[in-house]
Chains A and B, each alone.
Chain A
Amino acid sequence: MAEQALNELEPEAEVEAETPPAPAAPSFAEGARSGAPASAGPVVVARHFMVDPRLPLPELDQPHAEAYAVEDRRPSRGESRPPLFALVCGHGLEPRLDALRYFSRAERLPLIRPVAWDVVSWPGHKSKRFVILLTRPAGPRVQSAPDVAFEPFTEDAVVRKVVHPLLAMFRDLKDRGLSHRAIRADNLFLADTAGNSVLLGECVSVPPAFDQAPIYETVDSMMAQPSGRGAGSQADDLYAFGVLLAVLLHGRDPCRHMSLAELTQMKISQGSYAAVVRDLRVSLPMMEMLRGLLCDDPRDRWEEENLTLWANGRHLSPKQPVVPPRGQRPFTFAGRDFWSMRALSAAMGHDWAAARDGVSTREVAIWIRRSLGEEKLSERLLEAIGSDLTGDARTSRQSDRSLARMLMYMDPGAPIRFRNFAARPEALTQALAFEFEKPGMQQLFTELIARRLPQAWMEAQPSLRTDQALLRRSFESLYAFVTRGAPGFGLERCLYEFNRSWPCLSPLIRDDHVTEIADLLPALERRAAAEQGRHPPMDRHLAAFVCAHVNAFPERVLAGLGEGVDPVARGIGVSEFLAEIVRRIGHGSYPRLAAWVARSLQPLVESYRSRRLRRQLEREIEAAVEAGDLSALANAVGNLERQETDRQGFEEARRHYTQLAREIRWLEDGNLTDPAFVASRAQSAAATLATFVSGVIVLVLTLVYMA
């Protein structure tokens, strides 16, 4: 990937300062720094920046990205430029490209701004890394780490240093329909050494809300796993902003000792305001703002206009906490009593195995009807899930699907939960990408989509927002892809179709970080230099990646890539597949890739019976390989007329050979020299000769006597 947003400079392909050694690539959890050899020199990023792996900046590290010093070598035009630092993103985590492009242009907003980015080979790592260059904050972090306490802000300091500076950012983000999703105390920096203002840290090195602590997330978002939280909306940002203000006033995370399940239950049962503010004494105006921002119902939550009005001194009526309806009697699950559907749903989502094995839908439906008085919901629940149950519903073990659907009806606003996975519906495809390579997750996603749980989530909603209604088409596409097992479809197609900037995970080119179709063949060409095998350069990831990035890729070509087809047909299919890519992206020369494909086509060449046609095919393949012309290669191997000629010619030759063999057999059996046959032929010949001789004699005698 050569995408970069260097504001003043034209895009340029990445340049590598040094060829890194090739040790095994550590995972992102191990960090990029641990793998960098001490002798590694600076790495050129986006042509004009030198990032030095030997100069780490641990104080600027992000949870999943490591910071390094940067030397800015852009040609100077006399203007002053802010100091920069580089974030080397973790392997397997894709940055937010849309947010990168936006924030790189947001020069006036109080946040750490990305200046340029690039994909480079990083010392000590086999695969390429995404590197983002950002403006360096002058001051330190407000909270050095999520669990560390700091000097609490006064209410006046919060308003002056935090609320007022960040208001402009919320306004701008709202206008552009973007969300930050990394608003937290440990991602807040002092804008200067005096500490008179703050800067918000970057939000682009990881997926939205990936690094957020649960306390900063709304109840439905915190129930989702980090990769499944999604970009959300500004309502999520404002909620996190409310939590940030409360944390700044506390001087610490007030819920740092609580588990995720405990925090979820507390937020549900008491409301977010009570859970976050707790025993903090705040003024009435501050309470007004915090209640507005921490409102659990997103429809009632303060928006940017409310915050602006409040900052300008206009006071609004405080929002009352929204707590779910409490039942007349509790439902006991896992030894604990739960008084509301939402709390019970959250608890069962956190302890899936216990819920699946110990709770029946009928029990829950009866409790909903009798204790909560929700007869319609109870009937809907039984009606919707009754078809999933077999046998006696009270005693039968609940299936994962029926449990997932039951949780959807109990808490429609909660994420889609299925076994150990939970994601907001709009972040389902993003979660698919991030969790794709984790053990067991592909099976889980396949089941989740094939069992139409996303569609079931939509059916369970009492009403759908416009953006949610648009998801229906995406869910149907997911289902259509998953239920087709051919190359170019399946779960891999879901991954690339809905995550267009996700790099191709094919083992053949994954180290090259290919995110654009134009980079695919060059990456395969590089790979081909080290490839000596006879397997064709093709796998399901390549097929799905291409199908997702090329409009209306011919299914005729995809049909030739199936695992079930014989090696000859597969070789032809692969060559036609690559030729189609060349046709779509424009011609190019790929001699090594062509040679690789040609090696895999050896069975095809050998399948030709005719030596003449085989030599002809070999000559055409050699010419195509020499020119690196994949289209010519596909034309050579896909010549159906020649194949038919060979087939028919072979059949004719075999018939001719059989006829010859029969004749040889007849001769070898002595039929031509059989005594009776010879005598017959001899006497016949003698008669013929005698006829001739006698004719001559008669003629001569006639002439003599006439004379």
Chain B
Amino acid sequence: MTRNSPQTGRSAPDVAVQQLPVRRRWGWMRISAAVLLATPVLAVLFPSAALLAVLMLPTLAAAIADRRPEKHAAIAIGLLNFCGTLPALADLWSRGQVMSNSLLLLGEAMTWLTAFGAAGLGWLLVLLATPLAHTYLSLTTQARLRALQRQQQRLVEEWGEGVALQDAGVFGGEESTEG
């Protein structure tokens, strides 16, 4: 669905089409930079990376499931998932960053519960946000409508019915075709 803003009247796809080549070019550059930076980090912090790779699986699943380009759901889940992983990561660093400690931590139920529990909270947050937002926006719509109608009423009271005549001409045709 193409949504026009009441203020600008421009459609979102139009903007996306214009920005597409720039975004694509920057995407490749990002990937290249990430690989260059990640390779030495992975080499040095392999135990931590392995621990993160396992405990951050819910985030990977969310990133795959979230089909929106903004990936807001994946971000929300990922951030909380990362928070749930942090205790284990801190424990690894305090015990010593070796692969055996990573495996030892992965063997503890608390580690899994914390990481995946936090990710679950993220999922819950994403799932609850939509009905909450719908309720909020519905209430906002009603309040905004009343405010706008009051403004119109004040204009009519000050300037008479004539102030609305042009409006009737503009929108009357649309209403009649819809009816």
Which range contains the number of B residues in contact with the other chain?
Answer: 35 or more
* A678 touching B148 in the complex, CB below 8 Å, given contacts A609-B163, A666-B6, A701-B87: no
Query: Could you tell me if A682 and B134 are in contact, using CB atoms closer than 8 angstroms?
Result: yes
B129 is an interface residue with CB less than 8 A from chain A: yes
Query: Could you tell me if B86 and A697 are in contact, using CB atoms closer than 8 angstroms?
Result: yes
B34 is an interface residue with CB less than 8 A from chain A: no
B100 is an interface residue with CB less than 8 A from chain A: no
* A691 touching B75 in the complex, CB below 8 Å, given contacts A609-B160, A660-B152, A678-B137: yes
Q: Which residues of B contact A691 (CB under 8 A)?
A: 75-76, 79
Q: How would residues 156 to 179 of chain B score, 1 for a CB under 8 Å from any chain A CB and 0 otherwise? A: 111110111011001100000000
A12 to chain B, nearest CB (A): 55
Which residue of chain A is the closest to B9 with respect to CB atoms? Answer: A662
B36 to chain A, nearest CB (A): 26
Query: Could you tell me if A685 and B133 are in contact, using CB atoms closer than 8 angstroms?
Result: yes
CA A638 to CA B6, docked complex, whole Å: 41
Partner of A694, one of B83, B133, B160: B83
Q: Which residues of B contact A653 (CB under 8 A)?
A: 155, 158-159, 163
Partner of B79, one of A665, A682, A694: A694
Query: Could you tell me if B137 and A690 are in contact, using CB atoms closer than 8 angstroms?
Result: no
Query: Could you tell me if B6 and A690 are in contact, using CB atoms closer than 8 angstroms?
Result: no
Query: Could you tell me if A690 and B164 are in contact, using CB atoms closer than 8 angstroms?
Result: no
* A683 touching B86 in the complex, CB below 8 Å, given contacts A650-B159, A690-B80: no
Query: Could you tell me if B148 and A667 are in contact, using CB atoms closer than 8 angstroms?
Result: yes
Partner of A610, one of B72, B76, B130, B158: B158
Contact segment of B15-23, B46-54, B138-146: B138-146
Choose among A610, A680, A683, A698 the residue with the greatest number of B CB atoms under 10 Å from its CB.
Answer: A683
Which range contains the number of A residues in contact with the other chain?
Answer: 35 or more
A418 to chain B, nearest CB (A): 55
Query: Could you tell me if A698 and B86 are in contact, using CB atoms closer than 8 angstroms?
Result: yes
Q: Which residues of A contact B68 (CB under 8 A)?
A: 680, 683
A530 is an interface residue with CB less than 8 A from chain B: no
B61 is an interface residue with CB less than 8 A from chain A: no
Partner of B73, one of A666, A668, A687, A698: A687
* A687 touching B72 in the complex, CB below 8 Å, given contacts A665-B171, A698-B86: yes
The A interface, classified by DSSP as helix, strand, loop or mixed, is: helix
A658 is an interface residue with CB less than 8 A from chain B: yes
A564 to chain B, nearest CB (A): 25
Query: Could you tell me if B70 and A680 are in contact, using CB atoms closer than 8 angstroms?
Result: yes
Query: Could you tell me if B129 and A611 are in contact, using CB atoms closer than 8 angstroms?
Result: no
Q: Which residues of A contact B73 (CB under 8 A)?
A: 683, 686-687
B58 is an interface residue with CB less than 8 A from chain A: no
B11 is an interface residue with CB less than 8 A from chain A: no
Q: Which residues of B contact A674 (CB under 8 A)?
A: 1, 3
Q: How would residues 35 to 69 of chain A score, 1 for a CB under 8 Å from any chain B CB and 0 otherwise? A: 00000000000000000000000000000000000
Q: How would residues 81 to 95 of chain B score, 1 for a CB under 8 Å from any chain A CB and 0 otherwise? A: 011001100100000
A483 is an interface residue with CB less than 8 A from chain B: no
Across chains A and B, the number of contacting residue pairs, with CB separation under 8 Å, is 149
A282 is an interface residue with CB less than 8 A from chain B: no
B77 is an interface residue with CB less than 8 A from chain A: yes
Within 8 A of B (CB), among A664-689: 664-668, 670-687, 689
Q: Which residues of B contact A690 (CB under 8 A)?
A: 75-77, 79-80, 122, 125
B47 to chain A, nearest CB (A): 18
Q: Which residues of B contact A649 (CB under 8 A)?
A: 159
B32 is an interface residue with CB less than 8 A from chain A: no
A529 is an interface residue with CB less than 8 A from chain B: no
Query: Could you tell me if A673 and B141 are in contact, using CB atoms closer than 8 angstroms?
Result: yes
Query: Could you tell me if A661 and B160 are in contact, using CB atoms closer than 8 angstroms?
Result: no
Q: How would residues 339 to 360 of chain A score, 1 for a CB under 8 Å from any chain B CB and 0 otherwise? A: 0000000000000000000000
A473 is an interface residue with CB less than 8 A from chain B: no
B95 to chain A, nearest CB (A): 13
Within 8 A of B (CB), among A591-646: 609-612
Query: Could you tell me if A667 and B160 are in contact, using CB atoms closer than 8 angstroms?
Result: no
A693 is an interface residue with CB less than 8 A from chain B: yes
B37 is an interface residue with CB less than 8 A from chain A: no
A656 is an interface residue with CB less than 8 A from chain B: yes
B7 to chain A, nearest CB (A): 8
A687 to chain B, nearest CB (A): 4
A656 to chain B, nearest CB (A): 6
Query: Could you tell me if A686 and B72 are in contact, using CB atoms closer than 8 angstroms?
Result: yes
Query: Could you tell me if B137 and A650 are in contact, using CB atoms closer than 8 angstroms?
Result: no
Partner of A672, one of B1, B76, B79, B141: B141
* A678 touching B134 in the complex, CB below 8 Å, given contacts A611-B159, A660-B152: yes
Ranked nearest first, the 7 interchain pairs of A and B with the lowest CB-CB distance are A682-B133, A690-B76, A683-B72, A682-B129, A694-B79, A686-B129, A687-B72
Q: What are 19 A-B contacts defined by CB distance under 8 Å? A: A609-B162, A656-B151, A657-B155, A657-B166, A660-B148, A661-B164, A661-B167, A671-B3, A672-B140, A672-B141, A674-B3, A678-B130, A678-B133, A682-B132, A683-B72, A687-B79, A690-B122, A697-B83, A705-B90
